[in-house]
A = this chain, B = another copy of it.
Amino acid sequence: MTTTRAEPQPADFADVRTTNLAVVLRHLRAHGPSSRAAIAASTGLTKATVSSLTADLIDHRLLRESGPSGNRIGRPATVLALDGSAYASIGLQIFAGQVTALAVDYSGDQLLLWHRALSAKRPTSEIISLAQRAASRVRQQGRHVLGLTVALPNTFPRTGLREQVSGSLRQKDLVVSVAEHAALAAVAEQRHGGHAGADLAYVSGAAGLEAGLIIDGHLLRGGRLGRFKLGPAGTPTLEDQAGIEPLLRRALPDFDPEALADAGPAVEQVAIRARVGDTVTLAALKHTGGYLGQGLAVLTDLVGPEVIVLGDHFATLAPWLIPALNLSGPPVTASTLGLHAAALGGALSHLDQVDTGRIPRPVG
């Protein structure tokens, strides 16, 4: 998912084949089921090469032959389609007082979505336990687990977590990674959120105020929007002005800070009050939106995204926040991915491995 820039490696014929496997897979992902002749015509590969590549992909259970294609005179050509059944990957996230596990297969179909209440006492063992159970279930379904990513807010302690999760899963070629919540949500947004290929910023209120930034196809480190501060000593941070918790305190006179483990219901409460025109709530949303707009202007000046996506809690409140942003920059939209975007992004990020043509042997 993140690109490392090592010394260039010499190319050989295995590289050529890997590249061409990737070309065939991406053609089918982009254009849907196609005949071998159509793949050859569109990619510039010879028919013989396409036959050999697709035989290999069928053997790996990444393609299957389906019915003949229409619009054809004479003998119908067999159509090849992506087959997601052999490979899967898993994303976990810690958000809203829960640990969530989500698995997708190679064709992007969701295999499972589990939520478990997270106790403050033993979060690491709960993450490990859910990771183990999700991996077992996916394997029972006859799928090879390519990877597992744990999405964490910046505030969550992560020392040794990757190694502990990896050790508990007992599968050598299963890649385990740990990454930022907002960054992984941005990955999901770019793949499944209707912004494929766009440079985007995903704004998350999951832990303070963070942004996931994908620029030129690269996920940037950083995105710590909430810590912005420009002014004399004692100036509040952007999170103080535009974060979800300060908004709840301003908007809900009876706000209970104990409820912050899962801010979701309180955020819904704000939306309900705003809908009926509660003036205190509307003023709080205007305050939040105004400062959020200033932060997003800074972000836009600095990295120039093509679209800004308000995620999770901010998506719920987007009808009131967007008009208050006062932003002369890229379009701002509300995410439609809901509250488990980071888990989805974590799972999706492992499927890139297959798309590059480096294909492990499937199980079974």
Which size class do A's interface residues fall under?
A: 35 or more
Contact with B along A283-315 (1 / 0, CB 8 A): 000000001001101111111100000000000
Instruction: Mark A residues whose CB is within 8 Å of B.
Output: 2-3, 5, 7-13, 15-16, 19-20, 22-23, 26, 30, 43-45, 197, 211, 213, 215-218, 220-225, 227-231, 235, 238, 291, 294-295, 297-304
Q: Which of B2, B3, B15, B213 contacts A302 (CB 8 A)?
A: B213
Q: Which of B7, B23, B222, B227 contacts A303 (CB 8 A)?
A: B222
Q: Can you give 27 A-B contacts (C-beta < 8 A)?
A: A2-B216, A5-B197, A5-B216, A8-B19, A8-B22, A8-B26, A10-B43, A11-B15, A11-B20, A11-B23, A15-B16, A15-B19, A213-B302, A215-B221, A216-B218, A220-B302, A222-B302, A222-B304, A224-B302, A225-B301, A227-B301, A230-B298, A231-B231, A231-B294, A298-B302, A302-B302, A303-B303
Q: Cβ of A304: which chain B residues have Cβ within 8 Å of it?
A: 220-222
Q: Cβ of A225: which chain B residues have Cβ within 8 Å of it?
A: 301-302
Q: Cβ of A44: which chain B residues have Cβ within 8 Å of it?
A: 10
A296 CA / B61 CA spacing, docked (Å): 50
The answer to whether A45 and B10 touch (CB under 8 A), given A216-B3, A216-B220, is yes
A104 to chain B, nearest CB (A): 22
Q: Which B residue sits closest to A215, measured CB to CB?
A: B220
A219 to chain B, nearest CB (A): 9
B215 in contact with A218 (CB, 8 Å): yes
B229 in contact with A300 (CB, 8 Å): no
Q: Cβ of A301: which chain B residues have Cβ within 8 Å of it?
A: 222-225, 227-228
The answer to whether A300 and B20 touch (CB under 8 A), given A230-B230, A230-B231, is no
B298 in contact with A298 (CB, 8 Å): yes
A23 CA / B30 CA spacing, docked (Å): 32
Q: Beyond the given A2-B216, A5-B216, A15-B19, please list 5 additional residue pairs across the A-B interface where CB-CB is below 8 A.
A: A8-B23, A11-B15, A218-B218, A220-B303, A223-B301
A196 to chain B, nearest CB (A): 11
Q: Cβ of A294: which chain B residues have Cβ within 8 Å of it?
A: 229-231
Q: Cβ of A228: which chain B residues have Cβ within 8 Å of it?
A: 230, 298, 301
